[in-house]
A and B are shown apart, each in its own frame.
Chain A
């Protein structure tokens, strides 16, 4: 069975989130969960100023309405990983906005059967209009 969806959905931006202001405490809590003790990532007095670890970029969420627009294939699925392209540091006090679109939809077959992948690209921008990261969220659906 071929996967059917409106190809016009690819590239369409459905929603831009409200800015989320990054707190130093948020970064520290994130570091605790991943075991990052780098002073640069934890100490506001560090040389050059505190910056978030690169993977902090994945903590920003799409708006709750975004997924209403994303096609679903089948009943089951899961998060199949994230690719992050780091562009600029995220610092405490930054106000991060997400703009997301459906980057790609593709099928593949594997040991466990057929799969449909939906890739959503989120572009993270700070209060200065500077892009700080691109995050590709990959979701696997079982048709």
Chain B
């Protein structure tokens, strides 16, 4: 049985989002046909809310909710899955100057996985940093599909994956209710917990999936012949 998860989303716990979690889940419940997402991962900016308990909302809407974090480093933004108390003691998640290589290695040692997100984005993506610094080691995957990408950003991410052989994930990066689940990741395996997710990201089979509606092509202008 496969599992589809939106691996990158922000609720109102992030300072730049106004989306309540309940509204996200209701939206997904109402749009299951067009966005067949089994669950979402809340990746709040520069923080991890260890004590938040979303089980009642999961039961109410039938959508799984997992917790992770998006932190900021000298190589751009990175999603941290499998956050533990040891990690939050080791790293100040609010620090926007974390060292990416140290984070990736230490998170892996502590049982999690750190995945650079929106690598094609200027300033906060891996591609721009790779132009001036050596590539990071031990990168398991990067976020190739990001719901907030502008033109060309996802394409740059695909080139990065092709060049370095990274795994590829997708996430909506939603800060607004209507954007949740637009990009996601399909896992071959059944993923029911953060432990499952970390295991599958490290060793499983997965691919990014895109549920964004296709734009209709702009009709070509018809030349009117003058008589």
Using a CB–CB cutoff of 8 Å, the interface residues on chain A facing chain B are: 2, 106-114, 117
Instruction: Tell me the dominant secondary structure on chain B's binding face.
Output: loop
Q: How far is the CB of B10 from chain A (nearest CB, A)?
A: 12
B186 within 8 A of A: no
B162 within 8 A of A: no
- Are A109 and B77 in contact, with the CB atoms below 8 A? yes
- In the complex, 12 of the A-B residue pairs with CB atoms within 8 angstroms, ordered by the A residue number, are A2-B97, A106-B46, A106-B94, A108-B45, A108-B46, A109-B72, A109-B77, A110-B124, A111-B122, A111-B123, A112-B122, A112-B123
Q: How far is the CB of A90 from chain B (nearest CB, A)?
A: 23
- Are B123 and A108 in contact, with the CB atoms below 8 A? no
Given B96, B121, B122, which contacts A108 in the complex, CB threshold below 8 Å? B96
Interface centre among B94, B96, B97, B121 (most CB of A within 10 A): B96
Contacts of B123 in A (CB 8 A): 109-113
- Are B72 and A106 in contact, with the CB atoms below 8 A? no
Contacts of A117 in B (CB 8 A): 15
What's the count of A-B pairs with C-beta under 8 Å?
27
Instruction: Tell me the dominant secondary structure on chain A's binding face.
Output: strand
Contacts of A112 in B (CB 8 A): 122-123
Interface centre among B15, B16, B72, B122 (most CB of A within 10 A): B15
Q: Which of the four size classes fits the interface of chain B?
A: 10 to 19
Contacts of A108 in B (CB 8 A): 16, 45-46, 72, 96
For window 13-53 of B, CB contacts with A under 8 Å fall at 15-16, 45-46
Decide yes or no: A111 and B96 within 8 Å by CB, A106-B15, A117-B15 being known contacts: no
- Are A109 and B124 in contact, with the CB atoms below 8 A? yes
- Are B96 and A109 in contact, with the CB atoms below 8 A? yes
Interface centre among A108, A112, A113 (most CB of B within 10 A): A108
Q: How far is the CB of B6 from chain A (nearest CB, A)?
A: 21
- Are B121 and A107 in contact, with the CB atoms below 8 A? no
Contacts of B96 in A (CB 8 A): 107-109, 114
Contacts of B77 in A (CB 8 A): 109
List the 6 closest A-B pairs by CB distance, nearest first: A107-B96, A109-B72, A111-B122, A109-B124, A109-B96, A111-B123
Complex CA gap A108/B121 in Å reads 15
For window 84-101 of B, CB contacts with A under 8 Å fall at 94, 96-97
With A106-B94, A109-B77, A111-B123 already in contact, 14 other A-B pairs whose C-beta atoms are closer than 8 Å: A106-B15, A108-B45, A108-B46, A108-B96, A109-B72, A109-B76, A109-B124, A110-B123, A110-B124, A111-B121, A112-B122, A112-B123, A114-B96, A117-B15
The chain A residue sitting closest to B96, CB to CB, is A107
Complex CA gap A84/B96 in Å reads 27
Complex CA gap A107/B123 in Å reads 15
Complex CA gap A110/B16 in Å reads 12
Complex CA gap A117/B76 in Å reads 19
Contacts of B15 in A (CB 8 A): 106, 117
